[in-house]
Amino acid sequence: AQKRYADLRTVAAEDRSGQTVRLMMNAGLMADLPSLKSSGADGVGLFRTELQFLIRSRVPRRGELAALYKRVIDAAQGAPVQFRTLDIGSDKVLPYMKPQEEPNPAMGWRAIRVGLDKPGVLRMQLQALIRASEGRELSIMFPFIAAPDEFHTAKAMLLREIDREAALGHRVPCSLRVGAMLETPSLAFAPDSFFAACDFLSIGGNDLKQFFFAADRENERVRRRYDTLDVSFLSFIELIVKRCAENDTALSFCGEDAGRPIEALTFAALGVRTLSMRPASIGPVKHLIRRSDLAALRGVIETARVRGSQSVRHAVTACLACQ
């Protein structure tokens, strides 16, 4: 199987009727970057920036971060890299941060909420990213955006930092893509003006699913209780696809489910045409897409829904067996 996947490295994830799906990889360390080539990923769809903050006993310095981000962009050799700004709090606790006594950390003071309330670290991280770009394209996404004003404020902060860096004589990105992670159901119902201001949205399925079903992703008793291919969740994904299409906002899915072949195929059939996953999943997902017909699969999903199935898993799996 490894050899079969290796042979697929240089071919597109194209279904039998010529529909292509962009497969990107998730990363968080410099050591992940060689996988870009070995997996055949089209870029880094999610670069988690928490690790550099978690491994030290102090806040990393701007110069250290800029050097790392530059090495990441260099290693990508022109392939896109979407950096996610710091997502701490909840399951990711920094050793040097005062522990927060919160009854529900996953719904607490985390991610962009911390970044906006105490902007020092976020600003420093944005400066490091701008410097690391050295005039190349830069893609940044903000985590856990639950309301449009959080995105607008964070984006304004980024634009201010770019002006400031330019005034200091540093090169600034030749083009900038600013996006948000869609991890709370509320964001799918934001006004069109939010979608229009967003260059791209990435569905953080791990968090989105936990809030959609109200099932803690850290709790073994409930984390597998609800199927990702539940028709309610898929209808919600379809709503996001529709809103993005109407507003010309690029869309991807970067939670762990994007790396599960049946889930990946289902999302692609529903119109999510960029998936970001761990590198080892790229081969298996690509293999399955290449033997499938996404339009036919969409028909099968629709039929299962009309019949009243709670999950389309059985229908999708059966369809694959006969394709």
For ligand PEP, which residue of 19, 20, 206, 247 counts as binding (CB under 6 A)? 206
Stretch that binds ligand PEP, among 2-10, 120-128, 205-213, 280-288 (CB under 6 A): 205-213
- Residue 101 CA to residue 270 CA, distance in Å, equals 40
Element (H, E) at 150: helix 148-167
| Nearer Cβ to ligand PEP (52/292) | 52
Residue 285 carries which side chain, given as an amino acid letter? V
Does 204 sit near Mg ion (CB under 5 A)? yes
Q: How far is the CB of 90 from Mg ion (least distance, A)?
A: 8
Beta strands in the chain (DSSP E): 13-14, 20-27, 44-48, 81-84, 138-142, 176-182, 200-203, 250-253, 274-277
* Token couple for 139: 């893609």
For ligand PEP, which residue of 204, 279, 283, 284 counts as binding (CB under 6 A)? 204
Does 254 sit near ligand PEP (CB under 6 A)? yes
> Please, which residues have CB within 8 angstroms of residue 57's CB and are 6 or more apart in sequence?
95, 96
Does 259 sit near ligand PEP (CB under 6 A)? no
Does 45 sit near ligand PEP (CB under 6 A)? no
- Residue 213 CA to residue 226 CA, distance in Å, equals 7
| Nearer Cβ to ligand PEP (115/205) | 205
Does 279 sit near ligand PEP (CB under 6 A)? no
Strand partners, 26: 46
Does 205 sit near ligand PEP (CB under 6 A)? yes
**How many residues of this chain bind Mg ion (CB under 5 A)?**
3
Q: Would you tell me which residues interact with ligand PEP (CB under 6 A)? A: 46, 48, 87, 183, 204-207, 254-255
